[in-house]
Amino acid sequence: MANNFEKIIILDKYCKILYSEDMQHNQLIEDQLLIINPFKNDV
């Protein structure tokens, strides 16, 4: 699971999407970084 330090690094690199099965699916951080769980079925 990404901690706050890892989130800051990711945001600082201007990423738009982070794929993670350990974080909350469809979570939007700082109106910039979208967390996507690639194993989540959204049907």
**Does the residue 24 lie in any domain?**
yes
**Does the residue 31 lie in any domain?**
yes
**Does the residue 43 lie in any domain?**
no
pLDDT at 31: 86
Segments forming the whole domain that contains residue 12: 4-36
**Does the residue 30 lie in any domain?**
yes
Q: How many domains does the chain have?
A: 1
pLDDT at 38: 93
pLDDT at 28: 92
DSSP 8-state assignment for residue 19: E
pLDDT per residue as tens digits for the range 3-38: 666 666 666 667 788 898 888 999 998 888 899 999
pTM for this prediction: 0.65
Q: Which two tokens stand for residue 32?
A: 């910039």
From CA 36, how far away is CA 24, in angstroms rounded?
8
Calculate ∠ Cα 7-9-14, nearest 5°. Answer: 95
pLDDT at 15: 78
**Does the residue 41 lie in any domain?**
no
